[in-house]
Structure 1
Amino acid sequence: MAHYASNRIFKKSRHLLPINTTIPKNEPRICYLSRQQMSLVVLVVQNTLLVLMMRYSRTQKAADQPLYLASTAVVMAEMVKIAACFIILRWQHSSWQDFGQQIKMDVIGKPRGLLIMMIPSGLYALQNNLLYIALSNLEAATFQITYQLKILSTAIFSVLLLGRSLNRTQWFALTMLMAGVTLVQTQQVMTAAVPDEPNSKDTHFQNPWIGLLAVLTSCVSSGFAGCYFEKILKTSTTSMWIRNIQLSLCGAFFSLLGMMIYDLPLIRAGGLFQGYDCMTWLVIINQALGGLLVAIVVKYADNILKGFATSISIIVSSIISFYLFAFQPTLGFIAGAIIVLIAMIIYSKESMPKSTSITKLYS
């Protein structure tokens, strides 16, 4: 949209990203960006790094090095998230006494708040485990594109849970999205049928059908949990960090339960941190802090436009995958990726307020 505005107007730009909210003129800005816009920019960077690092940690292992258990990584991420929330909440209080009083009053003293967060936390725990499975069986770029189907599920659940309405153009964009993802997945399955040259570092067998099923299930859980959490945040006066503590406590419970059910024998045999290295811990920290970043985006921006910003990382992931994982995109993959990106742009444009003109957007 920038080519419609002059350079003079662009230099004075206050709204570089489309946000479906009203931004006060006196709001503090970072590098000329509002809190909403900055959070979305950081989210693009975080998503790109998370996908690439997770893919690398799951495939680029030496033959004699065991693969870390995804369930333990999910549990560790929840622990890091809880610690981060406590640190931020403590920083917001002047004394330990005030901090402890709020924890006692809003977390311990309100068990109903924990019960409310059981649904999204369970779905997020499922989603986090499925991401590891998906990235163990799909190329990073293919995963990024296919994962954009969460925009479709988010849109549907936003209509059902949040009472939003979509126009014909938005439904057309969502149809384009499905077509583009289908084309990309078709190319992925066809490519997987032809074995690659042996790689001493990549000894992992990939099944694109398992990866696809994991992504689709994750998209549905992400869409519902995201809209559910958005409704809770925007209809409640409870602190966002208290909500995240409640969410993380419940998420840790479900993640720990899943780890004990599925991987307890392996943990007894090889230990909780088997296969862990520096990259594994970077993935865990990135995933934990990324979850908090998503909560900030949902609070200050919009759950659907969050997906638009995330889709930008497709381009970055594809370029880096080309050099890092020797990823060779086909013409079908490129065509599908372009369709997905166009669909995201159309959907985002339709999500902007009708009263916001080009001149207002860049003035």
Structure 2
Amino acid sequence: MGRGWRGGKVIAEEDPRIESTESRFVDALDPPTKKEPRFFRRLVPGFWVKGLVLALLLVQNTTYTLLRRYSMANLAEKYDPQEVLLVGEVFKLVVSACATTVGGEAPGARLARLAARSGKMFGLAMIYGAMNVLSYVAIRRVDAAVFTVCAQLKILTTAAFSVGILRKRVSATKWRALVQLVLGCVLVTVPQMTASSAPVDHAAFFVGVVAVFVEVFLSGFASIYFEKVIKADEKLSVWDRNYQLALHSILLYLVYGYAERTYVGSAGRYEPFHDFSGVAWGLAFLGGGGGLLVAMTVKVADSVVKTLAVSVAIVTSTLASHFLLGGPLDLPMGVGAATVALSVLNYSFDASPVSA
């Protein structure tokens, strides 16, 4: 692996035989521009494509949340959530493999070379696996309301890591908007949770809170790490990185599922995809598509903007759940929804100068 010089920094180069499949697409997404005024930049094609990607992510998150609530609350389905995630990763793997092998070298050789040079994505898959375990530990020791409140802090950890790792500058106005966004999400989500009436085991509660905070920390780091890998390496496309990540995620899900059945124990004979319904398949494909959209959002925008879209999806899914599924909707939730909307607008249209 050679090394080169770009922008005053020494960078590592991937195998030159691996050519990006998205060079023209990236130019369309974020065309090189001079220092145009803010209003002009919003009229260039790249702005509208960014808006389209964010809109698709918003629709995907809203639909996924609604379908999951319908499946669990209304239909009371009993499929294994881990298998839903596994199928989603397989879907993402297939789509990414097809996209990355269009044109160029032989598909088999390219995919094999990508797999052999996927160490960065293996580390990210390990982080996601650790987050999955931590979430499992936390949700069994703290009630859903506490877990939801703590989990919203990933908005702030993502912004903090973007400053610390990517050296992005965030104005005081944007920080205030992000804090308000967290509060708005909490107001929207907490009334939907039911606090546990069981006696509190303080030691277990402490372990659960620590687990969710570590998960929040890892979530922010993973988001920015993924963004750094995608944007810093021009040799590999978003599809290439998604293929690598899905490949390792599938392996980890298989290992995790085997360990859970072997060491945690499960009664009776294991039957793969038992109780898997059409809704479960829909959730799997939506989840896999969401992973692709997240990567595309990070490529054309950034991880903090991604959290804005996901936060708006919390509001839209809550409103849709109320009108379509009879979910709760009260004054605090309405205030939270308005707070989220104002926070997103405040962040998006902030023109405050930031210190270097």
Q: TM-score, normalised by structure 1?
A: 0.70
Matched, 1:93 2:103: yes
8 Å CA contact 1:150, 1:223 repeated in 2 = yes
Distance in 1 (alpha carbons) for counterparts of 2:192 and 2:213: 15
Out of 252, 260, 267, the residue aligned to residue 262 of structure 1 is: 260
8 Å CA contact 1:149, 1:177 repeated in 2 = no
Report % sequence identity: 28
Give the corresponding residue for 1:336.
Answer: 336
Q: Secondary structure at the residue paired with 1:271?
A: coil
Matched, 1:230 2:227: yes
8 Å CA contact 1:21, 1:301 repeated in 2 = no
Aligned length: 301
> Within 5 A, what are the aligned runs for 1:273-284?
273-284=273-284
Give the corresponding residue for 2:304.
Answer: 304
8 Å CA contact 1:81, 1:289 repeated in 2 = yes
Give the corresponding residue for 1:107.
Answer: 115
Distance in 2 (alpha carbons) for counterparts of 1:353 and 1:100: 50
Out of 169, 180, 185, the residue aligned to residue 184 of structure 2 is: 180
8 Å CA contact 2:53, 2:296 repeated in 1 = yes
1:6-51 deviation per Cα after TM superposition (whole angstroms, max 9, x unaligned): xxxxxxxxxxxxxx966669x996xx97322211111111111111
How far off its partner does 1:286 sit?
0.6
> Within 5 A, what are the aligned runs for 1:12-91?
34-62=48-76, 67-90=78-101
Residues 314/59 of structure 1: CA separation in 2 closer, same or farther (3 Å cut) = same
Distance in 2 (alpha carbons) for counterparts of 1:287 and 1:214: 24
How far off its partner does 1:285 sit?
0.6
Q: Secondary structure at the residue paired with 1:269?
A: coil
Give the corresponding residue for 2:37.
Answer: none
Q: TM-score, normalised by structure 2?
A: 0.71
How far off its partner does 1:268 sit?
5.7
Structure 1 unaligned blocks of 5 or more: 1-19, 195-208, 355-363
Higher relative contact order (CA 8 A, sep 6+): 1
Q: Over aligned residues, Cα RMSD in angstroms?
A: 3.8
Give the corresponding residue for 1:295.
Answer: 295
Residues 93/147 of structure 1: CA separation in 2 closer, same or farther (3 Å cut) = farther
8 Å CA contact 1:308, 1:345 repeated in 2 = no
8 Å CA contact 1:146, 1:184 repeated in 2 = no
Give the partner amino acid of 1:250.
Answer: H
Give the partner amino acid of 1:232.
Answer: V
Out of 94, 117, 120, the residue aligned to residue 121 of structure 2 is: 117
Distance in 1 (alpha carbons) for counterparts of 2:271 and 2:121: 31
Distance in 2 (alpha carbons) for counterparts of 1:210 and 1:57: 30
1:165-184 deviation per Cα after TM superposition (whole angstroms, max 9, x unaligned): 22211222233233334444
Residues 319/278 of structure 1: CA separation in 2 closer, same or farther (3 Å cut) = same
8 Å CA contact 1:74, 1:125 repeated in 2 = no
Distance in 2 (alpha carbons) for counterparts of 1:212 and 1:274: 33
How far off its partner does 1:192 sit?
4.8
Residues 267/243 of structure 1: CA separation in 2 closer, same or farther (3 Å cut) = farther
